[in-house]
């Protein structure tokens, strides 16, 4: 019955367009349609558009309006790729993977992935989106040694082997691996999605295989890049939104060239989603983005300059934002933050300092630091007691949560911590009571943060006080994020403070990669992470047995085709990670203020604000938000 | 007056005994004025400048407080009270329900407003908390050496008294301002000492010897002056190692401020010396065989010392503002050391302006001290040349 209905929907919709398509199209595009610059709506939509499902608290809307956002740096316009959330497959609110850009997809044993493209789907410039775009990416981009010198992206490789790629017809492609590839679909649905397609019709002009060598050389010369690969890459950063000519499939497309202080995004006339009544989404015609200093965002938001703001706001702004509610015509909602820990400390086990490096690799040292941190005080002083004191692990409400993960080594017990430090041979102290390391230097930790506000330094001041009771001196060095990363990667930083794990609400089908050395941006083991990330080309293999165990488990997970087995592996990893305290989590579940214009509809009252898996607002589908 | 013509010469000669006051009678006060020493004259002239005197008095008070910050502050500057975060200032009252009971504050009732998460403090008229005087309170090390717990004023036993409110960690702002004064004011004096030393030395060499030494120093001055000041301060203070103790950073900042400030002083000294060394009395001293050292010390230095003092006084506020600016930008002093700039740095936040305005109060002592220095320096400059 259901399938019959589903099949009927497109027919019904087609009938609806036949009768009065003008009413279904946004008036914003009317003049361009009238002048013949754009085809009528029925010709712009795929034959079977995606129909947005509206949740209990949302309502069908109408076209129009401009949504204003504020970001702290012009490169943040990439957030429009996160918020826009048009993905080949995407998460719904229950965090299940559903087809979105794709009409449908089939998976056999996690090995064979067949993707069905919507017939008649078009890029934002009106050119058809077909299997040629997948072929172009796979054969001409990912497999090209100039463009991808280290081989195709990690998520497309299983055991270092490439998939067999087939074009079944103009609307169907298939990827086949010999072993399971559980990374592919989550990567496609992520906040920074894996792009396995590219607008071939546009990018071919920059590709050496499709141009005569002389012409190519002339183009490269003109652009001033080192080679044709640089030229191609420069024009193909779909995530960054920095090339206004690059065709995309997102709900809104950028019309402002970098650099700018104000960006205007307009609706994509060829977007593939419609609402139940057949109105093409997004409801909102334009999105304008104001770039300002991140410290001014709360002030500007409070004066009503933003219609939807979560970025650069935090709990300490809540009172102030609440005061401005009536003046600024907005409401403040409190969503839950999805970080595994609001902030976590990462002892750099790849530090350049051999004494310190040896120390951080001792489990008991990390445990003692964690035991000697007074989380209760941080919660009370900084978060008014609204957060939860816990280690850096998954959050309650997630199917993988167990209390022991959150509580392990996370209680405040300075006596035990001191005893553990003494047992580690750190029992010598200098005149000021600071412990001495094995080489006689005092145990002074310089902690690097990428902090912009005072919150991080306040937390560190509190931690510094509780660590002083352990005989450890803490110095804080705030720097810009790029500098901060560089210092951690190079081993110059002894310890780093950053957000806890990004995805605090994983399911067993999501990658446990954050709990194993798999990426350079894991600040406790950047070099080991880099080793995995670059397929053993750069970096070093993990030298710590427990870290190796985590990596092995992670690989085991990736080979497993069974959901229960995956959950079991997840639990093993979570248990090791918490017990070894590879990162020292502080508090989690910090409420996140979300400012929503009173006229902006369909933004949920409650939600999880996180990078993964919700892509901030992404899975709540901003293309269905509308202005009353 | 009897005058008659001298027969032989034909001149008029007065036969009266010579009386120097015959033309103009000088009062006793005037006489002491004409006979007064230079220093005394400066003092008299300065005294007539009422504003300068008041400002001098304020400066004296503020610098005096620096010696006994620990006694004046009711709390230690790092004492946190998690139960009094963002507490507004508590007013001192004398009368409770019409009855005199001496200085006291009303205790605050605290509640967290769950609606907007604001920490609300309401004075409770039933909680009369009498202040204590000459009491023991927070322990500290006087001048960082002697352990003591004496304070001029303390809250009632186990109660609170936040005269200027508290910050986001529940630290008493008044105490922090008092402790901050020590750093902010001393940095001015320290910086000017460095600058004065360099300015006198280099300006003196340039002015007295002239020639290639003069040219060299002049060019150096020009180069240093051509750097934009703030970026240079910023880059210099950014290279101070992070492991330096706050005290060492403090000295580092002082030296940085002084090293970049001496140029103006050196020029003043040089031009003054160039003028004075051509004066007749200097030439006379040189012809009589006085050594360079003696000429500089005995004949030249007194000629411009008052001027130097005045211009040094006028550049102290620049130093204080320099430190405040650096710390405000997060490049100067770092917590836990506390200066007015550090306090202002912590207040640069829209929440503070909107919800906790008392945290901007450290601006007040900055303004007061800058104005005081400027008026006092002005008066001093006018007084420096009493013969005008």
pLDDT band at A147 (very low <50, low <70, confident <90, very high): very high
Q: What percent of chain A has pLDDT over 70?
A: 96
Contact A322 B115 (CB under 8 A): yes
Q: Pick the residue of B120, B350, B357 with the most A CBs within 10 A to test the interface with A by mutation.
A: B350
Is residue B304's pLDDT more than 70? yes
A399-431 pLDDT, tens digit per residue, is 899 999 999 999 999 999 999 999 998 988 988
Residue B242: its pLDDT value, please? 67
Is residue A342's pLDDT more than 50? yes
Contact A454 B346 (CB under 8 A): yes
A506-539 pLDDT, tens digit per residue, is 988 888 999 999 999 999 999 999 998 888 888 9
Is residue B270's pLDDT more than 90? no
Q: Please report residues of B whose CB lies closer than 8 A to that of A381.
A: 80, 82, 85, 168-170
Is residue A162's pLDDT more than 80? yes
Average pLDDT for B54-83: 90
pLDDT band at A432 (very low <50, low <70, confident <90, very high): confident
Q: Using CA atoms, how far apart are residues A360 and A177, in angstroms rounded to an integer?
A: 39
Q: At what angle do helices B246-276 and B173-209 cross, to 10 degrees?
A: 40
Tokens 């002084």 locate to B258
Q: What percent of chain B has pLDDT over 70?
A: 95
Q: Please report residues of A whose CB lies closer than 8 A to that of B352.
A: none
Is residue A20's pLDDT more than 50? no
A315 touches chain B (CB under 8 A): yes
With CA atoms as reference, the chain B residue closest to A300 would be B350
Residue A294: its pLDDT value, please? 83
- Nearest-5° Cα angle at B72, B66 to B76: 95
Tokens of A247: 């065709």
Contact B117 A386 (CB under 8 A): yes
Q: Using CA atoms, how far apart are residues A590 and B380, in angstroms rounded to an integer?
A: 58
Residue A5: its pLDDT value, please? 45
Residue A392: its pLDDT value, please? 93
Residue B255: its pLDDT value, please? 85
A316 touches chain B (CB under 8 A): yes
A444 touches chain B (CB under 8 A): yes
Residue B17: its pLDDT value, please? 82
Tell me the shortest Cα–Cα distance from B109 to chain A, in angstroms: 16
Contact B351 A444 (CB under 8 A): no
Average pLDDT for A75-102: 93
Is residue B276's pLDDT more than 90? no
Is residue A211 helix, strand or coil?
Answer: coil
Q: Using CA atoms, how far apart are residues A75 and A259, in angstroms rounded to an integer?
A: 9
With CA atoms as reference, the chain A residue closest to B170 would be A381
A106-126 pLDDT, tens digit per residue, is 999 889 999 999 999 999 999
Residue A452: its pLDDT value, please? 60
CA separation, residue A558 to residues A24, A157, A195, B178 (Å)? 45, 11, 20, 61
Tell me the shortest Cα–Cα distance from B79 to chain A, in angstroms: 11
The residues, ordered by sequence, that sit 6+ positions from B243 with a Cβ below 8 Å of its Cβ are: A444, A446, A475
A446 touches chain B (CB under 8 A): yes
Contact B242 A475 (CB under 8 A): yes
Is residue A10's pLDDT more than 80? no
Q: What is the mean pLDDT of chain A?
A: 90
pLDDT band at B1 (very low <50, low <70, confident <90, very high): very low
pLDDT band at B101 (very low <50, low <70, confident <90, very high): confident
Average pLDDT for B273-299: 85
| Per-domain boundaries in chain A | 344-588
Contact A458 B168 (CB under 8 A): yes
Residue A603: its pLDDT value, please? 93
Across the A:B interface, residue pairs with CB atoms under 8 Å apart total 63
| Per-domain boundaries in chain B | 71-170, 175-384
Is residue B8's pLDDT more than 80? no
Is residue A331's pLDDT more than 70? yes
Contact B351 A323 (CB under 8 A): no
Q: Please report residues of B whose CB lies closer than 8 A to that of A480.
A: none
Q: Pick the residue of B117, B240, B337 with the most A CBs within 10 A to test the interface with A by mutation.
A: B117
Average pLDDT for A183-211: 93
Is residue A332 helix, strand or coil?
Answer: strand
Please check whether the domain covering B175-384 is classified as CATH 1.10.3720.10: yes
Residue A18: its pLDDT value, please? 44
A413 touches chain B (CB under 8 A): no
The closest CB to that of A444, out of B118, B243, B335, belongs to B243
Tell me the shortest Cα–Cα distance from A386 to chain B, in angstroms: 10
**A80: how many CB neighbours lie within 10 A of its CB?**
25
DSSP B193-222: HHHHHHHHHHHHHHHHH-HHHHHHHHHHHH
Average pLDDT for A65-92: 93
A592-606 pLDDT, tens digit per residue, is 999 999 999 999 998
Average pLDDT for B116-125: 87
CATH classification code of A344-588: 3.10.105.10
The closest CB to that of B117, out of A299, A384, A458, belongs to A384
Residue B5: its pLDDT value, please? 62
Q: What percent of chain A has pLDDT over 90?
A: 70
B83 touches chain A (CB under 8 A): no
Task: Let me know: does A561 contact A110? Beta carbons within 8 Å.
Answer: yes
Q: Please report residues of B whose CB lies closer than 8 A to that of A305.
A: none
Average pLDDT for A275-280: 91
Residue A64: its pLDDT value, please? 92
- Indicate the range of A483-487, B62-66, B209-213, B359-363 predicted with least confidence: B209-213
With CA atoms as reference, the chain B residue closest to A298 would be B350
Is residue A283's pLDDT more than 90? yes
Phi, psi (degrees; rounded to nearest 5) at A392: -85, 90
Contact A458 B351 (CB under 8 A): no
User: A-contacting residues of B 140-199, CB under 8 Å?
Assistant: 168-170
Q: Pick the residue of A317, A319, A330 with the most B CBs within 10 A to test the interface with B by mutation.
A: A319
Is residue A245's pLDDT more than 60? yes
Residue B203: its pLDDT value, please? 86
B69-88 pLDDT, tens digit per residue, is 999 999 998 888 888 889 99
With CA atoms as reference, the chain A residue closest to B118 would be A319
Average pLDDT for A288-302: 91
Tell me the shortest Cα–Cα distance from A439 to chain B, in angstroms: 18
pLDDT band at A4 (very low <50, low <70, confident <90, very high): very low
Is residue B20 helix, strand or coil?
Answer: coil
Which candidate, B113, B110, B108, places its Cα nearest to that of B123?
Answer: B108
Average pLDDT for B28-50: 78
The closest CB to that of A320, out of B330, B335, B354, belongs to B354
Q: Pick the residue of A303, A315, A381 with the most B CBs within 10 A to test the interface with B by mutation.
A: A381
pLDDT band at A15 (very low <50, low <70, confident <90, very high): very low
Average pLDDT for A367-394: 92
The closest CB to that of B116, out of A302, A322, A462, belongs to A322
Average pLDDT for B363-376: 91
B160-218 pLDDT, tens digit per residue, is 889 999 988 889 999 999 999 988 888 888 888 898 899 888 888 888 787 888 899 89
């Amino acid at each position: 019955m259901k399938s019959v209905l589903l099949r009927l929907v497109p027919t019904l919709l087609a009938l609806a367009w036949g009768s009065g398509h003008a009413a279904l199209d946004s008036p914003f595009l009317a003049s361009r349609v009238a002048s013949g610059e754009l085809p009528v709506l029925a010709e712009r939509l795929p034959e079977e558009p995606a129909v947005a499902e509206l949740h209990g608290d949302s309502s069908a809307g109408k076209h129009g309006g401009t949504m204003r956002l504020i970001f702290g740096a012009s490169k943040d316009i990439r957030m429009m790729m996160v918020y826009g959330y048009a993905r080949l497959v995407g998460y719904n609110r229950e965090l299940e993977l559903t087809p979105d850009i794709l009409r449908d997809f089939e998976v056999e044993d996690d090995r064979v992935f067949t993707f069905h493209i919507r017939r008649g789907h078009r890029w934002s410039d009106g050119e058809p989106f077909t299997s040629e775009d997948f072929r172009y990416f796979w054969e001409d981009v990912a497999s090209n040694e100039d463009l991808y010198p280290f081989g195709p992206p990690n998520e497309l490789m299983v055991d270092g082997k490439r998939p067999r790629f087939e074009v079944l017809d103009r609307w169907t492609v298939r990827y086949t691996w010999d072993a399971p590839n559980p990374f592919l679909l989550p990567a496609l649905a992520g906040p920074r999605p894996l792009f396995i397609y590219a607008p071939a019709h546009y990018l071919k002009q920059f590709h050496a295989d499709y141009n005569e060598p002389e012409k190519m050389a002339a183009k490269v010369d003109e652009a001033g890049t080192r080679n044709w690969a640089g030229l191609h890459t420069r024009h193909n950063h779909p995530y960054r939104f920095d090339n206004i000519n690059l065709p995309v499939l997102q709900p809104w497309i950028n019309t402002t060239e970098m650099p700018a202080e104000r960006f205007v995004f307009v609706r994509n006339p060829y977007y593939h989603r419609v609402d139940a009544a057949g109105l093409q989404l997004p409801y909102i015609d334009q999105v304008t983005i104001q770039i300002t200093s991140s410290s001014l965002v709360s002030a500007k938001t409070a004066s009503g300059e933003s219609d939807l703001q979560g970025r650069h706001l935090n709990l300490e702004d809540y009172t102030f934002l609440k005061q401005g509610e009536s003046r600024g015509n907005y409401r403040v909602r409190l969503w839950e933050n999805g970080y595994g820990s609001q902030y976590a400390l990462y002892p750099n086990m790849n530090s350049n300092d051999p004494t310190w490096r040896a120390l951080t690799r001792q489990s008991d040292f990390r445990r003692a630091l964690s035991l000697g941190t007074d989380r209760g005080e941080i919660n009370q002083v900084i978060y008014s007691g609204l957060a939860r004191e816990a280690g850096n692990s998954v959050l309650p409400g997630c199917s993988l949560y167990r209390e022991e993960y959150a509580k392990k080594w996370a209680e405040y017990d300075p006596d035990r911590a001191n005893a553990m430090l003494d047992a580690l041979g750190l029992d010598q102290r200098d005149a000021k009571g600071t412990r001495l390391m094995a080489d006689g230097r005092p145990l002074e930790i310089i902690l690097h943060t990428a902090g912009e506000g005072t919150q991080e330094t306040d937390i560190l001041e509190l931690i510094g006080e509780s660590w002083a009771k352990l005989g450890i001196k803490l110095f804080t060095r705030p720097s810009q994020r790029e500098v901060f990363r560089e210092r951690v990667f190079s081993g110059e930083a002894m310890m780093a403070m950053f957000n806890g794990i990004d995805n605090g609400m994983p399911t067993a089908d999501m990658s446990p990669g954050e709990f194993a050395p798999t990426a350079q941006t894991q600040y406790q083991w950047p070099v080991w992470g880099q080793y995995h990330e670059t397929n053993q080309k750069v970096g070093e293999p993990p030298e710590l047995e427990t870290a190796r165990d985590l990596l092995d488990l992670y690989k085991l997970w990736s080979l497993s085709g069974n959901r229960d087995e995956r959950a079991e592996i997840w639990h093993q990893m979570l248990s090791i990670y918490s017990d070894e305290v590879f990162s020292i989590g502080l508090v989690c579940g910090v409420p996140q203020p979300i400012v929503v214009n009173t006229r902006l509809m369909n933004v949920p009252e409650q939600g999880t604000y996180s990078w993964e898996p919700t892509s901030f607002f992404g899975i709540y589908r901003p293309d269905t938000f509308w202005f009353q | 007056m009897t005058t008659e013509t001298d027969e032989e010469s034909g001149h008029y000669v007065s036969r009266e005994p010579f009386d120097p006051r015959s033309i103009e009678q000088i009062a006793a006060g005037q006489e002491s004025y004409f006979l007064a020493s230079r220093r005394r004259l400066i003092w008299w002239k300065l005294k007539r400048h009422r504003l300068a005197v008041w400002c001098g008095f304020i400066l004296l008070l503020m610098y005096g407080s620096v010696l006994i910050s620990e006694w004046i502050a009711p709390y230690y500057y790092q004492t946190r009270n998690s139960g009094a975060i963002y507490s507004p200032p508590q007013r001192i009252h004398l009368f409770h329900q019409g009855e005199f009971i001496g200085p006291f504050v009303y205790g605050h009732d605290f509640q967290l407003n769950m609606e907007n998460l604001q920490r609300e403090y309401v004075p409770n008229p039933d909680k009369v908390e009498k202040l204590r005087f000459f009491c023991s309170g927070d322990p500290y090390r006087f001048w960082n050496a002697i352990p003591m717990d004496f304070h001029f004023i303390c809250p009632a036993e186990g109660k609170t008294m936040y005269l200027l409110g508290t910050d986001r960690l529940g630290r008493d702002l008044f105490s922090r301002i008092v402790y901050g004064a020590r750093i902010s004011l001393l940095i001015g004096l320290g910086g000017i000492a460095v600058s004065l030393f360099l300015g006198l030395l280099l300006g003196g060499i340039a002015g007295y010897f002239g020639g290639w030494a003069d040219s060299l120093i002049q060019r150096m001055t020009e180069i240093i002056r051509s750097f934009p000041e703030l970026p240079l301060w910023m880059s210099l203070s950014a290279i101070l190692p992070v492991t330096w103790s706050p005290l060492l950073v403090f000295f580092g900042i002082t030296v940085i401020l002084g090293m970049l400030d001496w140029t103006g002083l050196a020029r003043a000294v040089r031009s003054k010396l160039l003028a004075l060394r051509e004066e007749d009395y200097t030439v006379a001293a040189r012809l009589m065989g006085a050594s360079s050292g003696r000429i500089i010390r005995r004949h030249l230095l007194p000629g411009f010392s008052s001027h130097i003092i005045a211009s040094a006084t006028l550049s102290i506020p620049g130093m204080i503002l320099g430190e405040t600016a650096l710390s405000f930008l997060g490049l100067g002093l770092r917590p836990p050391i506390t200066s007015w700039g550090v306090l202002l740095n912590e207040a640069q936040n829209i929440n503070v302006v909107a919800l906790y305005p008392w945290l901007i109060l450290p601006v007040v002592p900055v303004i007061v001290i800058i104005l005081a220095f400027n008026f006092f320096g002005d008066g001093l400059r006018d007084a420096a040349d009493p013969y005008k």
